[in-house]
Amino acid sequence: MDVNKPEIVAEVAAAFEEYERALVMNDVEAMNALFWDTPETVRYGIAEVQHGGEAVRAWRATAVPVPPSRRLHRTVVTTFGNDYATVSTEFTSDATALLGRQMQTWARIGSPLASDHRGWQIVAAHVSLIPMP
């Protein structure tokens, strides 16, 4: 299996950046488009849990937007073959003295014609906060 083929890393990084832009701009439609809309999707948030794309969409419709001061640190994109990847990052913001951690599992399962993210969608995600080291 090919790990971290440069062209696949670039595709996943672009999809992740698209998601991050949508998150900071509170573009719910774009965030929803990047999450796999099936019962198998799982998202563990800071204070909530969603099982299934429908639950993710329902939560997202009422979620408080992330602070505009959100900054990413130590983002790592790891790809496996052409269709599977993980993205791990840390984040900080002026809204809390805590360190945020975010992990996403991405798979190329969507239609590449649906948007410019080449079919990549988040199939699982986990967000947590810890005291700053």
10 lies in some domain: yes
Which pTM value belongs to this model?
Answer: 0.93
Q: Max Cα separation, the chain? A: 43
pLDDT tens per residue across all 133 residues of the chain = 899 999 999 999 999 999 999 999 999 999 999 999 999 999 999 999 999 999 999 999 999 999 999 999 999 999 999 999 999 999 999 999 999 999 999 999 976 555 567 899 999 999 999 999 8
Domain hosting residue 93, numbered range: 6-131
33 lies in some domain: yes
1 lies in some domain: no
E strand segments, the chain: 42-44, 49-51, 71-80, 84-93, 96-108, 120-131
Tell me which residue has tokens 């719910």.
28
pLDDT of residue 115: 58
Dist CA 44 CA 122 (whole Å): 13
- The number of distinct structural domains making up the chain is 1
| CATH number of the domain to which 107 belongs | 3.10.450.50
